[in-house]
C-alpha cells in the first residue's frame, strides 16, 4: 500500500504543482492517474520513487516513510516503465531484462532463468529473442521488454509513465490486454499514468482523476462512469462514455422515435394502409384528438378486414398491453421487449398521452452513437 499524506509541491519559481494530496493506492491493483495536461499526475507518480521530492507532506510505502529510505535502494525495489522504453541499445535483450537482478547481485543462473521466464510470459521465445538487440525488435516488442524488465527483480510496486502512448493503436491494444493478463497472474501494485480515457477505463481497478494539482474524483471506472462527481468529470470522460457501461443510465426518452406513425380511430382501412405505406411501417398506434393512446392496428388485421368498406381502424384495433412511462430507464424497456418478444414499445406520459416509440432500430441507432469513438480517439494532450 502507498499513502500520500497532505502532499504539496511548489517549485522555486512559485509554480504550485500539487495541493494537499491525500491518497491511498491499494496493494495488488492497477491504479490509473489521469487528467488534463499539467494536472500533476506525472509529478505525483514520480514522487513514489523519489525522482521528485514533495515540498510538504509524507509518502509511505508499506507503512515506511520513503523519505527515510536510500533513493537508489528504493528505486531498485520499484519497477519503472516509461514511454520511450529506455532499452540500452548496446545490450542484448537478455542483458536489458537482467539489469536490475545483476545490480542486486543475483546469481547468473538465477538471472538467466528469470529472463527466460519473463520472455515466455509475454510470448517471446527466449531462443529467438534473448540474444537480439533492441533495434531488431518492433516497437511493440520493445515495449514488452520494457515491461518485463520492470518485473525482473520481482518488485511489489511498478510505475508506468504513459508506457503505450507512442505505439500504433493495434500494438497499444495488444499491450493493454497483455498487462491485464499479467496483472491477473502477478497481482502487482501498479501506478499507471495515462492521458487516454479509454485506456484508463479498460485497465484500471481504480481511477484517480486530477485537475490543477488536486484530486477531483477517485473510484472504480464503473463508479465514476455512473456517478461523476461534477461537471468537470462528466465533460472530461464525455457524456457518451458515461453511458457505455450502463444501459440503465439513458432513459426511453433519449432513445425513442418521437414521431411514430399514428391514426385516429375514425380512419378507414384504406387510409390506414396508405399511412403505413408512406411511413414504411407495418402497424399504427391509434390515438384520440388529445393524443391519448387507444390501441394499435397491424397491417395483417387491416388486410383481413379490408373488404368491409364501412369498417374503421377502431373496429379492428387491439389494446396496447405493454407501455412504459416517460423517464423509464432503457434497460427496463429492453427487458420488457425481450420478455414479451415485442418489436416496439410505446412511451406515454400523464393520462396515457403518447410521446414516442421504442423500436429495435432506435435502440441500435442509440448504441451505435454511444459506442462510436470520438474523432480524436478520446485523448487529450499528454502532460509535459
* Segment 10-26, tens digit of pLDDT: 998 888 999 999 999 99
Using the predicted structure, report yes or no on whether residue 379 has a pLDDT greater than 50: no
Per-residue pLDDT, averaged over 275-296, amounts to: 91
Counts of helices then strands in the chain (DSSP H, E): 18, 16
Per-residue pLDDT, averaged over 289-309, amounts to: 89
pLDDT, one tens digit per residue, over 100-125 is 888 888 898 999 998 998 888 888 89
Using the predicted structure, report yes or no on whether residue 285 has a pLDDT greater than 90: yes
Residue matched to cell numbers 519497477: 79
Per-residue buried b or exposed e for 264-295, using 16+ beta carbons within 10 Å of the residue's own CB: bbebebeebbeebeeeebebbbbbeeeeebbb
C-alpha cell at 381: 494532450
320 or 182, higher pLDDT:
320
380 or 176, higher pLDDT:
176
Given this model, what pLDDT does residue 342 score?
86
Pairing of the two strands 189-193 and 353-359: unpaired
Given this model, what pLDDT does residue 4 score?
95
C-alpha cell at 136: 531488431
Residue 49: exposure state from Cβ atoms within 10 A (0-12, 13-18, ≥19): buried
Given this model, what pLDDT does residue 357 score?
93
For the chain, give the mean pLDDT.
Answer: 85
What single string gives the DSSP state of each residue in 339-365? HTT-SEEEEEETTTEEEEEEEHHHHHH
C-alpha cell at 84: 520511450
Given this model, what pLDDT does residue 372 score?
52
Per-residue pLDDT, averaged over 147-167, amounts to: 84
Using the predicted structure, report yes or no on whether residue 252 has a pLDDT greater than 90: no
Given this model, what pLDDT does residue 248 score?
44
- As a whole-number percent, the residues of the chain with pLDDT over 70 amount to 92
Using the predicted structure, report yes or no on whether residue 376 has a pLDDT greater than 60: no
Q: What domains can you pick out in the chain, each with its CATH number?
A: 2-244 (3.40.50.300), 252-368 (3.10.580.10)
Per-residue pLDDT, averaged over 260-280, amounts to: 90
CA distances (Å), origin 292, targets 79, 180, 208: 66, 53, 49
- As a whole-number percent, the residues of the chain with pLDDT over 90 amount to 34
Question: From CA 219, how far away is CA 316, in angstroms rounded?
Answer: 55
Neighbouring-strand partners of residue 287: 293
Using the predicted structure, report yes or no on whether residue 9 has a pLDDT greater than 90: yes
Given this model, what pLDDT does residue 384 score?
30
Per-residue pLDDT, averaged over 35-64, amounts to: 92
Q: Kindly report which listed range (17-31, 134-148, 168-182) carries the lowest average pLDDT score.
A: 168-182
Give the three-class secondary structure for 45.
Answer: helix
Question: From CA 68, how far away is CA 50, in angstroms rounded?
Answer: 11
Using the predicted structure, report yes or no on whether residue 307 has a pLDDT greater than 90: no
Given this model, what pLDDT does residue 193 score?
93
Given this model, what pLDDT does residue 362 score?
81
CA distances (Å), origin 312, targets 220, 235, 271, 289, 319: 57, 52, 9, 16, 15
Using the predicted structure, report yes or no on whether residue 364 has a pLDDT greater than 50: yes
pLDDT, one tens digit per residue, over 182-233 is 888 888 899 999 988 888 888 899 999 999 999 999 998 878 887 888 888 8
Given this model, what pLDDT does residue 231 score?
87
Contact 355, 326 (CB under 8 A): yes
Using the predicted structure, report yes or no on whether residue 360 has a pLDDT greater than 70: yes
Amino acid at each position: 500500500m502507498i499513502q500520500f499524506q497532505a502532499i504539496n509541491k511548489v517549485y522555486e519559481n512559485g509554480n504550485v504543482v500539487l495541493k494537499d494530496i491525500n491518497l491511498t493506492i491499494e496493494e495488488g491493483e492497477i491504479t490509473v492517474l489521469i487528467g488534463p495536461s499539467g494536472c500533476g499526475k506525472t509529478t505525483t507518480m514520480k514522487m513514489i520513487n523519489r525522482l521528485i521530492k514533495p515540498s510538504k507532506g509524507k509518502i509511505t510505502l508499506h507503512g515506511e516513510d520513503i523519505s527515510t529510505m536510500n533513493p537508489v535502494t528504493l528505486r531498485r525495489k520499484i519497477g519503472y516503465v516509461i514511454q520511450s522504453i529506455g532499452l540500452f541499445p548496446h545490450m542484448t535483450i537478455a542483458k536489458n531484462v537482467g539489469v536490475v537482478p545483476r545490480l542486486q547481485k543475483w546469481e547468473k543462473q538465477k538471472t538467466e532463468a528469470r529472463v527466460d521466464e519473463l520472455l515466455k510470459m509475454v510470448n517471446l521465445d527466449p531462443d529467438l529473442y534473448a540474444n537480439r538487440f533492441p533495434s531488431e525488435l518492433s516497437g511493440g516488442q520493445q515495449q514488452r521488454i520494457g515491461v518485463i524488465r520492470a518485473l525482473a527483480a520481482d518488485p511489489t510496486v511498478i510505475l508506468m509513465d504513459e508506457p503505450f502512448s507512442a505505439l500504433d493503436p493495434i500494438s497499444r491494444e495488444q499491450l493493454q490486454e497483455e498487462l491485464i493478463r499479467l496483472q491477473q497472474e502477478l497481482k502487482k501494485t501498479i501506478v499507471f499514468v495515462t492521458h487516454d480515457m479509454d485506456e484508463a477505463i479498460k485497465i484500471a481497478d481504480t481511477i484517480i482523476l486530477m485537475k490543477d494539482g488536486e484530486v477531483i474524483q477517485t473510484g472504480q471506472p464503473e463508479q465514476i462512469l455512473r456517478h461523476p462527481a461534477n461537471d468537470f468529470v462528466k465533460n472530461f470522460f464525455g457524456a457518451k462514455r458515461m453511458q457505455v457501461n450502463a444501459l440503465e443510465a439513458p432513459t426511453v426518452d433519449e432513445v425513442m422515435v418521437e414521431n411514430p406513425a399514428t391514426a385516429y380511430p375514425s380512419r378507414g382501412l384504406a387510409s390506414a394502409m396508405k399511412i403505413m405505406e408512406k411511413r414504411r411501417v407495418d402497424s399504427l398506434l391509434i390515438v384520440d384528438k388529445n393524443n391519448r393512446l387507444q390501441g394499435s392496428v397491424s397491417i395483417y388485421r387491416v388486410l383481413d378486414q379490408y373488404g368491409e368498406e364501412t369498417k374503421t381502424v377502431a373496429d379492428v384495433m387491439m389494446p396496447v398491453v405493454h407501455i412504459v412511462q416517460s423517464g423509464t430507464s432503457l434497460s427496463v424497456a429492453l427487458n420488457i421487449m425481450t420478455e414479451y418478444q415485442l418489436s416496439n414499445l410505446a412511451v406515454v406520459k400523464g393520462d396515457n398521452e403518447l410521446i414516442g416509440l421504442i423500436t429495435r432500430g432506435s435502440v441500435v441507432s442509440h448504441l451505435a452513437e454511444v459506442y462510436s469513438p470520438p474523432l480524436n480517439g478520446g485523448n487529450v494532450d499528454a502532460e509535459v
